[in-house]
Structures are given as C-alpha cells and as structure tokens.
C-alpha cells in the first residue's frame, strides 16, 4: 500500500494526536487535495464537510497544527497525524481536545474533563 | 449534550486509544446498539460496515478491548474510547496499532513502524 486510498474513499477520517503528550485532539476529514497540501506544507489541512471546502486548521484562530508525522491504517481508510497544536487548544470551544465530554457508563451522565485554554468569544468574536 | 448524536448519524466513528500508553490503536464505527452494548458490558462493541452487523471486537481472536473510559466530541459525531487491549494487538495484521504504516512527507514512501505482536495466520488460520 502506498498511502490512504482516495480512489476508493473521497473523504478519509483523520485523527489528530498531540505529538508530545499523546492526547487525542480531534477527528476531521481530508480529501486528496487536503492530504497533498498537508504533506507539502507540513501544516494540517482538512476538508470541511459542512463548508465543503479546504479547511486550513487555525486559519482563523491562529491555532494551526504543525505536522510531525503521518500514518495510515491497515485498511488505508483512516489517517493519523501527530501534531504540534499551536496555542494549545484544538477545539473551537477552547479546550485542548474536542473530546472533553466524558460519559459515565453506568449513569450515562456527562461530565467535562479539562479546562478551557481560551475563551471562544475572545478568539472568534461575538455574533 | 447528553452523548453522541445517533439521531443525526446512524454510524459514528470511534477512536480506540490504549488507556495506559496513549497509543492510538484503531478507528472503527458504532451504531447506537453497539454503543449501548459497550456501555453496559464495558467491552468495546463496534458495528462492522463491511459485514453490516455488530462486531464484538476480539470475538474471534480473543483480543477484546476492555473499556476504561469513553468520551464524545464537541460536535457529538465522534467517540473516543480508552481501552485495555487484551493480547496487546488491535490490528488484524498482528500489530499493536492499525496505524503502523508511516508516510514520509517528502518522498511519500511508506515504512513500517513497530513489530508484529502475533502472526495473523496462527490466530485466524490459513485460508
């Protein structure tokens, strides 16, 4: 296998992991253009499914992701990027990781884990 | 938000991470039935897109995933499970992680990172 199989899958899910701490930061998607741009710029570029265009992560917030290494899985249908998350927060809600909501398997209640790195209203502006 | 949004998404991608080491093991999918079974049994159950049925990970190989904790992301469209991977290998190719193929951004060549934990032909039998 030579890489993720964009011939079979137009969009491939991408797991972003903090290169130093191993914290899983987020999951997003790449099309082949985003993938090639990520390799050539060494800055992570996704494809936004909602906006239907390339999403250069951090373009607005400044919280870019510098690519340290990139992997694909045994089925060639998922990508893993290890990154340096500039600004310390990957999540638009201001948390380091988008996975800050934890579910208790017994009670099914949800609790927040981790603290806000930034206040979203300061970064993105109030509407 | 009370949990992953299965009303909006029939299948939700699930990142499995080793609870102790932080290694990202694999990505698979859950439907709501698989999700509820995972919570109640504390053993990870996926939904296999290719076989179109519940996939109790490790049923065949014995390499079950014991659930340590479970999270969902800010868009409620991705799940993160932290697990103990029994047998040490999540990948059907015998590697700890399914992400054992690394891409060099410059040359785009692929190298294998990590060693086989088991020989797949011994576990699954030769066809």
In the prediction, which pLDDT does A124 show? 73
3-state secondary structure of B37: helix
Q: How far is B62 from chain A (nearest CA, A)?
A: 19
How confident is the prediction for chain A on average, in pLDDT? 94
| CA B96 to each of CA A23, B10, B34, B121, B127: distance values in angstroms, whole numbers, following the listed order | 18, 29, 23, 16, 23
Cβ within 8 Å, pair B91-A103: no
Cβ within 8 Å, pair A2-B100: no
Whether residue A81 has pLDDT greater than 70: yes
Q: Which residue of A has its CA nearest to B23?
A: A22
Mean pLDDT by 10 residues, chain B (127 residues): 94 98 98 98 97 95 93 98 96 95 97 91 69
Predicted confidence band of residue A125 (pLDDT cuts 50, 70, 90): low
| A31-53: average pLDDT | 98
In the prediction, which pLDDT does B60 show? 82
| A9-14: average pLDDT | 98
B120 exposure class (CB count in 10 Å sphere: 0-12, 13-18, 19+): middle
Of B21, B24, B39, the CB nearest to A108: B39
pTM of the entire structure?
Answer: 0.96
In the prediction, which pLDDT does A84 show? 98
Predicted confidence band of residue A127 (pLDDT cuts 50, 70, 90): very low
Domains recognised in chain B with CATH numbers? 12-119 (3.10.20.810)
Give me the residues of B, 10-69, that contact A with CB < 8 A. Answer: 13, 15, 17, 21-24, 26-27, 38-40, 42, 67, 69
Run of H or E residues at B27: strand B24-30
Percentage of chain A exceeding pLDDT 70:
98
In the prediction, which pLDDT does A62 show? 84
Whether residue A29 has pLDDT greater than 80: yes
Q: Which residues of B touch A94 (CB under 8 A)?
A: none
């Amino acid at each position: 296998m030579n890489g993720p199989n964009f011939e079979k899958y137009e969009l491939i899910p991408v797991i972003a992991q903090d290169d130093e701490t191993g914290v899983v930061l987020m999951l997003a998607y790449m099309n082949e253009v985003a993938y090639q741009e990520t390799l050539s710029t060494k800055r992570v570029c996704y494809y936004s499914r909602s906006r239907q265009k390339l999403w250069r992560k951090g373009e607005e917030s400044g919280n870019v992701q510098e690519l340290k290494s990139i992997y694909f899985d045994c089925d060639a249908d998922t990508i893993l990027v290890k990154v340096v998350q500039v600004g310390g927060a990957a999540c638009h809600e201001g948390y380091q990781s988008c996975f800050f909501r934890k579910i208790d398997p017994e009670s099914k209640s949800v609790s927040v884990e981790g603290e806000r790195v930034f206040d979203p209203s300061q970064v993105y502006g109030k509407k």
